[in-house]
């Protein structure tokens, strides 16, 4: 897989980070435990893991959110014992109470962790944001997306917005405890808190605007089934038109390469082969019940080249359209 950046949403608090010396027996430990309320959230942690000092976050869980930007390198994340390899840009939302671990797996790995409380975004009962957005999230009737990657609309805007937030912490925040390549930043000025909360509201707006907020949390298997169903339904509805793999990938909010592999692993054949097989199936129905010319049958089933239609038909049926029709007579 391609090495890249990632963003993750954690419904966590601060993490326990252990940076182990790979060259020598020295081990450095940093506890990102609970933040004293005199140091209110939001709060930022920046870690730069190197070959000598490798990031290792031991198992922990918390009751507030953590937005993590994996800027460079590769990571291994465990969420409630499920292993996830981080090698592409992405965002993750982890529910409150989720047990998580994190390890850097490349020689250089950079990540920024933004911790914040959803309860800090309380509005009056009559406020439209309170009624339509934050209340449902706090009641866990609506949910942030579990993952947002490069294939999702709005991802680049999310990265840009997050970058502005961590730059503000670096420029105006107070740098505190540091272990090896990890630094903690907190805000002191009221104006800076306003800027960060405004930035978070912008990220929430992107997710809401792009339809990323769900009414219930879908387990991964349900998402996969939904992706496959939507793809197949699209093919069956549009088989007579030009169908591009990128259209199917966009339907599932995946990149083309991953979608092709995902579809093949779950359906057993590639998307292109499924399209061709379905078109041939519809062509057989037409050939069996009418006197349409082969060229017209080809056009009616999405084949805009008669030669290509005959070739694919024969590869699937073992005979040409003419031979098939003649055999039925």
- Predicted TM-score (pTM) of the model is 0.57
User: pLDDT tens across 11-54, in order?
Assistant: 443 343 333 433 333 333 334 433 444 457 899 988 898 888 88
Residue 229 predicted with pLDDT over 90: no
The CATH number, out of the four listed (2.60.130.10, 2.60.40.10, 2.60.120.10, 1.10.600.10), of the domain defined by the range 6-209: 2.60.120.10
Give ranges for CATH 1.10.10.60 in the chain: 218-329
Please answer whether residues 253 and 212 qualify as being in contact, where contact means their C-beta atoms are separated by less than 8 angstroms: no
Token pair listed for 296 = 């017209």
Start-end of CATH 2.60.120.10 domains in the chain: 6-209
Domain 218-329 belongs to what topology?
Arc Repressor Mutant, subunit A (1.10.10)
3-state secondary structure of 97: coil
DSSP 157-205: HHHHHHHHHHHHHHHHSEEEEEETTEEEEE--SHHHHHHHHHHHHHHHH
Q: How far apart are CA 166 and CA 177, in angstroms?
A: 17
Maximum pairwise Cα distance, the chain:
87
pLDDT in tens, 128-156: 999 999 999 988 888 888 788 887 888 99
Q: How far is CA 271 from CA 151, 182, 244, 247, 268, in A?
A: 18, 45, 10, 11, 9
What's the rounded Cα separation, in Å, for the pair 134 and 121? 7
How far CA 114 is from CA of 175, 213, 269, in Å, comes to 14, 20, 42
Can you give the pLDDT at residue 151? 76
Q: Which of 65, 82, 81 is nearest to 8 (CA)?
A: 65
Mean pLDDT of the chain: 82
Q: Report the distance separating Cα 98 and Cα 121, nearest Å.
A: 22
Which range has the worst mean pLDDT, 252-261, 276-285, 299-308?
Answer: 252-261
At residue 22, the pLDDT reads 37
Strand partners, 84: 77
Query: What is the per-residue pLDDT for 19?
Result: 36
């Amino acid at each position: 897989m391609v090495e890249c950046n990632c963003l993750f949403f954690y419904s966590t608090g601060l993490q326990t980070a252990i940076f182990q010396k790979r060259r020598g027996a020295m081990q450095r430990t940093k506890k990102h435990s609970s933040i004293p309320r005199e140091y209110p959230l939001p709060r930022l942690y920046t870690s730069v893991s190197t070959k000598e000092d490798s990031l290792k976050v031991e198992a922990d869980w918390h009751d507030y959110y953590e937005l993590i930007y994996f800027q460079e390198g590769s990571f291994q994340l465990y969420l409630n014992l499920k292993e996830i390899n981080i090698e592409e840009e992405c965002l993750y939302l982890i529910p409150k109470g989720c047990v998580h671990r994190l390890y850097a797996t490349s020689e250089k790995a950079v990540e920024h962790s933004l911790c914040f409380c959803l309860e800090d975004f309380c509005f009056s009962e009559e406020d439209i944001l309170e009624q339509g957005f934050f209340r449902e999230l706090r009641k866990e009737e609506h949910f942030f997306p579990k993952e947002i990657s490069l294939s999702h609309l709005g991802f680049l805007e999310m990265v840009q917005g997050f970058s502005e937030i961590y730059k503000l912490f670096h420029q105006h925040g107070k740098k505190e405890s540091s272990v090896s390549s990890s630094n903690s930043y907190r805000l002191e000025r009221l104006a800076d808190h306003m800027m960060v909360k405004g930035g978070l509201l912008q990220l929430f707006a992107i997710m809401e605007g792009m339809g990323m907020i769900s009414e219930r949390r879908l387990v991964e298997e349900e998402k996969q089934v939904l992706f496959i169903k939507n793809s197949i339904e699209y093919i069956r509805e549009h088989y007579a038109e030009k169908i591009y793999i990128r259209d199917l990938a966009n339907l599932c909010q995946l990149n083309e390469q991953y979608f092709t592999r995902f579809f093949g692993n779950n359906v057993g054949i590639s998307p292109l082969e499924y399209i061709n097989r379905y078109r041939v199936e519809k062509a057989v129905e037409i050939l069996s019940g009418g006197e349409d010319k082969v060229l017209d049958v080809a056009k009616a089933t999405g084949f805009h080249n008669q030669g290509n239609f005959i070739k694919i038909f024969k590869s699937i049926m073992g005979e040409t359209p003419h031979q098939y029709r003649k055999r039925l007579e």
